[in-house]
Amino acid sequence: MAKFLNTSATNYFLEELIKAARERLIIISPFLKFNDRIRELLQDKDRMKIDVRIVYGKSELAPHEINWLRSLPFVRTSFCQNLHAKCYLNERSAIITSMNLYDFSQVSNNEMGVFVDREQEADLYRETYEEAQRLIRVSEEVRLAAEKVEQPKDEVREPVAESADARDFEKLTTSRLAKALGLRSGELGDKLLSAGLVERDGEHLKLTAKGKAAGGEFRVSGKFGPYFLWPADLHL
């Protein structure tokens, strides 16, 4: 039977859920922000080589926190537009709750949630897991522009809003360019790689000299994180 959780119970069961993960861990939270305890738990899962997927709607990480997160090879992040769901799963249980990830351990807040055990509530767990997987799938299409890029070391910039520079109006983000070309973002990403405009740097992508010459730019948005800009008439 599903278990009702109040604020303190949500904190307790969430920590236990993360610690108990042995195969996978899925974290769905609108705001990407960690306290010290969450960072410690995620580092432990990474050392154990547990597959961790984090789906978020807005990043509130400082630059050094982004660098820390990228240092964890088994922790992957995806941006999901209009995300408001809060859900946490491992291979044996799930928590659906009002609590954002950054609220963890903030016992002064008033939260509610439901704990689902896979063995006792197989159908409810399956439906929760399937919806989490759907969110991961739809998030993949915007990862290239919003998350999966590495800031080149020779091009350090202060984060700026996506529309702060007048030159941006002449260029499109990767996802918008893909839409204009009638492609999926992943398909355009493959074309950019094949054309040598971007290259892989570990799990991320970075702009090449050829990409810069073609008019590509690397930017960082305080809301969405790092992304690329391309000329609207880019030829591949």
CATH of the domain at 71: 3.30.870.10
Which letter, b or e, does each residue of 51-60 get, where b requires 16 or more Cβ atoms within 10 Å of its Cβ?
A: ebbbbbbbbe
- Specify the number of domains making up the chain: 2
At 6 the pLDDT is 94
Identify whether 150 is part of a domain: no
The answer to whether the CB of 185 falls within 8 A of the CB of 174 is yes
| Digit-coded pLDDT (tens) for 42-66 | 999 999 999 999 999 988 777 778 8
The pLDDT tens digits for 145-156 are 334 434 444 333
What are the φ/ψ torsions at residue 173 (nearest 5 degrees)? -65, 165
In 3D space, the residue among 35, 42, 51, 133 whose CA is nearest the CA of residue 87 turns out to be: 133
Q: What confidence score (pLDDT) does residue 190 get?
A: 86
Residues 138 and 180 in one domain: no
Quote the pLDDT of residue 145: 33
Q: Where are the alpha helices (DSSP H) in the chain?
A: 7-20, 36-47, 63-70, 122-146, 174-181, 185-194, 209-213
pLDDT at 95: 98
Q: How far is CA 151 from CA 59, 62, 126, 159, in A?
A: 16, 14, 38, 11
Domain that holds residue 221: 166-231
Q: How many CB atoms lie within 10 A of CB 76?
A: 17
Q: Provide the pLDDT for residue 147.
A: 42
pLDDT attached to residue 224: 59
Residues in the chain predicted with pLDDT less than 70, given as ranges, are 106-107, 140-170, 202-203, 221-225
Q: Are the C-beta atoms of 83 and 146 separated by less than 8 Å?
A: no
